[in-house]
Amino acid sequence: MCAIPVAITIVSQVVSRMVASVLPGEAVRESAFTIRRATEPDQSAIAALVRGERLNPVDLDWRRFVVAADPTGLLGAVQIRLHADHSRELGSLVVREDARGRGLASRLLDALLAPVPTRVFMITGASFMAHYERWGFRPIATGLAPAPIRRNYYLGQILGGALSLLSARRPRRLAILQRHPQRLRDAKSFALAFR
């Protein structure tokens, strides 16, 4: 038996338990939409959302996603990938175009990141870095990221750049961000002490 499928199964089970702790029991209802853990029937809608925004279409397992939905279907989705080296990567953050401007992305991130006690990495367009400071994300040098994060970063730069050039668009510069929940809690405690 090959070790890779076993590792993927174990990683998938760990992430499923992690996502299950995100929204235990009831879904969170927000004006006309619900934030909840994804279910198996959501898989094709998640893939369509991610592919529609030209995000990384690899490793889209519904068990790792938190989604926003309303009666029309999925409005948005986000996941945390757990790599074989145990690094966690926030990925596939997407909101349907007609649902933007309602705070869905922020609520999805709040729901996904609140219970995560370990550091999380993400790859985003360099122009969006400041947006993620609210959740404790800070830019780091590429060489400081774990190997799976660096691999996704380089693939994004190379493949995304090639696709941009083919479609006559300017390639986006990417950045790797890292979140340390303990540092975020320490900073909040420090700020509260000096109010």
- Chain segment 51-62, per-residue pLDDT in tens: 998 888 888 999
Compute the distance between CA of residue 43 and CA of residue 59 in angstroms, rounded to an integer. Answer: 11
Average pLDDT, the chain: 82
pTM exceeds 0.85 for this model: no
What tens digit of pLDDT does each residue of 177-186 get?
999 876 555 5
Which residue, 58, 85, 118, sits at the end of a domain?
118
Last residue of a domain, one of 90, 118, 146: 118
pLDDT value at 26 more than 50:
no
The SS3 call for residue 100 is: coil
- Return the pLDDT at 186: 53
Which range of residues forms the domain containing residue 110? 1-118
Report which DSSP code applies to 63.
Answer: G
Confidence grade of residue 91 (pLDDT, cut at 50, 70, 90): very high
Domain final residue pick, 68, 102, 118: 118
